[in-house]
Amino acid sequence: MTRWYPKNGRVIFHVDMNSFYASVEAAYNPDLKGKPLAIAGNPEERRGIIVTSSYEARAKGVKTTMPLWQAKKLCPELIVMRPNFERYRKASSEIFKMMAEITPYVQPVSIDEGYLDITDCHEQGSPLEIAEQLQAKILNELDLPCSIGIAPNKFLAKMASDMKKPMGITVLRKRDLPQKLWPLAIGEMYGVGEKTAEKLNKLDIYTIGDLVGSDLFQLKRVLGINGERLQNRAKGIDSSPVDPDAIYDFKSIGNSETLREDTTDDNVIKPLFRKLSRKVSVRLKRKKVVGQTLQVMIRYDDRKTITRSITQSNFLEEEDEIFSLAYDLFEKHWSGDPIRLLGVTVQSLVEKKEISEQLDLFSYQKETKNEKLIDVMNKLTSKYGKNIFQKSEVQEDRSQPRTSFQKDFLDDYRK
C-alpha cells in the first residue's frame, strides 16, 4: 500500500457531513427521508430563518439563511423542524470517534466537519479505501451521509470535499488543479467571502486561475497579507498542520440573540443581557477559563452593528460580574435607536489553572470578610473530609439552542 502514499508529502482528508442537521433528523425519523425538510427557528419570529435543509428542499430553491416565509413560498410542502442541538452534538461526537479510530491526527473545525492526517496509515489500505470505509461506517452505523476530500494539504482537501455532494469522495492532487480547481469562480474558493470576491473582481480576478496569475503586489495592496495567502492556496500551497489541539485555541466565548421585535424597552433589553451573561458564564466554567476583556455587540433595526469592549485587571467568570459590565457598557454606547440583536463576549481567555489570583485592595477586603467563614469551613473539612462545600459541577443549560459556531464542545468525542 505504500505506493499510494507520497514519500515526502502528506495525505489529508476533509470530512464534511451532508446537510447535517436535516440528515440527523431523518436518521431519527425515517419517514422524513426523501422529503423537503428544513431546520429553522420559530416561524412566528424574525429568527425563523433556514439553518439547513435537505437536498430535496434545496432542489426547490431553499437555501441556508433564507427567511422561512420565502422558503415556504418556493416549496409549499416544506417540512419545518426546530433545531435539536443536543441531538446534533451527540451525532457529531460519534462521527469524530470514528475518525479517531483511524488516526490520532483529527482536527474538528465545526460540529459537522473535520480534518484527518492519514499519512502514516499505510497498513489500513490506500487513501481511497480508507475514505470509502469511513464513509460507509458513518452511513451504516449512524445513517448519515458525508463527502470526503483527499488531498496533499488541508485547503485542497476542503475544496475537494465540496466537489461531489452528497456522498462523494474526491481526490484533488496538485497536478489536477488546472482542470478541477482553477476554472472555478473566485467566490467558490474557501476563504474568499462576498466582500473579498468583490475586491478581487475589481482587479479582473474572476476565477481561481485568475488569482494564480495575478500580480502579488496588487493583491497585497488590496488585501494585505491575506492576498499572498490566498494566492498560495490557489497554487495548491498550504503547510498548515492537522492539529488535534487546535480546538483549545479559542480566544473568546460569547453568545448573541436576535430579539423577537426591534425594541427600545429596557424591560426586554435588561433581562436579555442577564440571560446572555448567564450563558457565557456557564460556558466559561465548563471550559475552565477566564478572561479580562468584555465585549458587547449591538445591532440596530437598520442592521448597523457596533461592538464596544472594556478590559480590566480582574478576571471575569461569574454571571453577575459579566452582566454588570455588559449592561454598563451598553448604556454608555447605546444610541437609543431600536435594537434588533445583542451579544455578550468574554475575550483574552486563559486557563484557570495557569493563573494565580492577584489580590488588589478590593479583592483583599472581600477575602478578609470571608476569613471567619473560611476558618469554619477548614475545621469542618478536617473533621468530615474534603470537598463537602465544593459546588457541584456546572451544568450547562442544554435546553437552549446551540450552534455549530460554538466550538467549545468539539473535544466531546475524546471523553
Residues serving a catalytic function are 113
Whether the Cβ atoms of residue 75 and residue 57 lie closer than 8 Å to each other: yes
Place of cell 433595526: 301
- Computed on alpha carbons and rounded to an integer, the radius of gyration of the chain in Å comes to 25
Return the amino acid letter for 334. W
CA dist 107 and 93 (Å) reads 13
- 408 among the known binding-site residues? no
> Cβ–Cβ contacts within 10 Å for residue 204, how many?
8
Q: Is 411 among the annotated ligand-binding positions? A: no
191 vs 195: CA distance, rounded Å? 11
